[in-house]
Amino acid sequence: MKDIKRAQIRPAAVALLILLLLAWTRVAGAATRAPYFTDLGQFNYARFLMDEGDYQTAAREFGRFIDCFPGSPLISEAQFRMAEAYLYSGRYSEAEGQFRLFISNFVDSPFAIVAEIKMQEARDKLKKAAPQPLPEIYREKRPYLRAVQVMLFEGRTYAEVESELESLAGAGVDTIIVRAFHNQGDRFYPAAKPSNKRGVYFKTSYAPVVDDFLPRVIEMAHSKGLKVFAWMTTRYADYGAEDDEGLACVSYDIQKMGYGRCKGLDLFNERAVQRLEGIYSDLASHEIDGVLFQDDLVMRHNEGFGEAAAALFEKETGTGLDPEALYIREPEGGPVHYTGLFWRWASWKNRHLVRVADRLKAVVKYKRPQAMFAINLMYESIVNPPYALAWLSQDLNEALMSDFDYFSIMAYHRQMGEELEKSAPEIRDMIVKMVGDASRAVGDPARVLIKVQTVDWRTGKPLADQEVVDLIREIKGARGVSLAVVPYRGGFPFGELSGGGLASIEGMR
């Protein structure tokens, strides 16, 4: 955007913006390292998958248990169950090897005799079974995004915003992803004339309107040949309904054993979902080309305990929702473990959240049949699915069944290094593997949007260009996925994104 005259940004303002972006893009925060995820919790998750008949995933999660908790008293049963999962999934060679390893490691186990019988069963089936090719994933192709995700335009007038859009189009960008919502405390678009402290940037009768800014941007962007995705919130869109207790999310305090209010809407409440449908329908009255669902379409491990959720859970599963039945407490303030029922409940919550997204997609497509949809996913959804399901009720496999057009994965390398306590080379290797795993799961690498951070979230300072560029090159060398740098900052060598399978620029200021 070299043709645009840039105003100087004070360091304090930059730091504030980064903190706001972090608040939006990381609802879980340090929660992923909290003590509730234990050996028993992981074991129960893998057992839950076995009970659901998802044997391949169960084998993976028993393997993760062995890697993460090698000293657990459950280790022998975990190895036996992993071998069983391979057997039941038809992976007889792996089953035979794991049963053999179990017998070698746990010769005195009461399962040893059973393991010998099952090992022979695996051998017999391996001899009879013809090699079966892995099922090929057929998924409709999507173009690589060359996009800018905009938190704020720099222009203080619409003419200046139009100049920015013209520069973006000239740089080869084909899509802008524009923030269509405003939370209290956020910075307003400089060109907007705000009339409310929170709400949306388009006309609707279902929420306060900050300014009718989005339609003007759409018109200008389309005149430059740019597509426009609306970056839109879901659960936190309680604008104008903050005092309606019936619509509020309900949480459970595990330590105090009591209920409380949590941020945003109760998405199990039909009134709350219908309200969102109204907002999204009004959004679709404008000529948007797509929607990016903000990453508030999640629920933490202790959220979602309202009356509507309890009634719906019992109706659909036949089981009452008692928070204390979801956790196993150790005596004298020890760790809290997840039960098998917890995993059933977390999986059920995830399916419901995806159904809510499907309803919002439907009301948009009613007016905009060609609209496309992207969903934000935490990196744990790829590298540690049980963490994602437990702490966020987020599951890539369920999202795949809903068939979003793009799967936006937050691969923030500095953040990952701090949270996982791994070195930069280890994180780079993890991200490269994550790119491959996500591409195979989705079936079309172009529909995988990998996000890379350009700023240190803690300090608000820009990362060295070369650090980010090196990671971008490694990702591009691994797979032809779509790419995003987060956030946009002036002076970054965006040309690095243009070679090979590109890329989007996720922007803010």
Note the pLDDT of residue 284: 98
Q: Above 70 in pLDDT, residue 43?
A: yes
Q: Where are the alpha helices (DSSP H) in 52-157?
A: 55-68, 75-88, 92-105, 112-128
Note the pLDDT of residue 167: 82
Q: Above 60 in pLDDT, residue 138?
A: no
Instruction: Quote the CA–CA distance of 285 and 206 in Å, as a whole number.
Output: 14
**The two structure tokens encoding residue 167:** 């520069």
pLDDT digits (tens, 9 = 90+) for 251-286: 999 888 999 999 999 999 999 999 999 999 999 999
pLDDT, the chain, mean: 85
What single-letter amino acid sits at 93? S
- What is the Cβ-side half-sphere exposure of residue 366, based on CA atoms within 13 angstroms? 13
> What residue ranges define each of the domains in the chain, with the CATH number in brackets?
11-32+140-246+269-301+351-507 (3.20.20.80), 35-128 (1.25.40.10)
Instruction: Quote the CA–CA distance of 205 and 365 in Å, as a whole number.
Output: 20
Note the pLDDT of residue 477: 82
Q: What SS3 state is found at 459?
A: coil
Q: Are residues 76 and 114 in contact, defined by beta-carbon separation less than 8 angstroms?
A: no
Instruction: Quote the CA–CA distance of 481 and 501 in Å, as a whole number.
Output: 6
What single-letter amino acid sits at 143? P
Note the pLDDT of residue 333: 67
Q: Are residues 227 and 174 in contact, defined by beta-carbon separation less than 8 angstroms?
A: yes
**Range with the poorest average pLDDT among 10-14, 229-233, 405-409, 437-441:** 10-14
**Range with the poorest average pLDDT among 100-109, 284-293, 330-339:** 330-339
Q: Alpha carbon 306 to chain centroid distance?
A: 23
Note the pLDDT of residue 317: 92
**The two structure tokens encoding residue 7:** 């105003």
**For residues 86-98, average pLDDT:** 87
**For residues 101-123, average pLDDT:** 84
Q: Above 90 in pLDDT, residue 39?
A: no
Residue with the bigger pLDDT between 114 and 369: it is 369
Instruction: Quote the CA–CA distance of 102 and 96 in Å, as a whole number.
Output: 10
Note the pLDDT of residue 19: 46
- What is the Cβ-side half-sphere exposure of residue 166, based on CA atoms within 13 angstroms? 9
Contacts of 341 (CB under 8 A, 6+ apart): 319, 325, 326
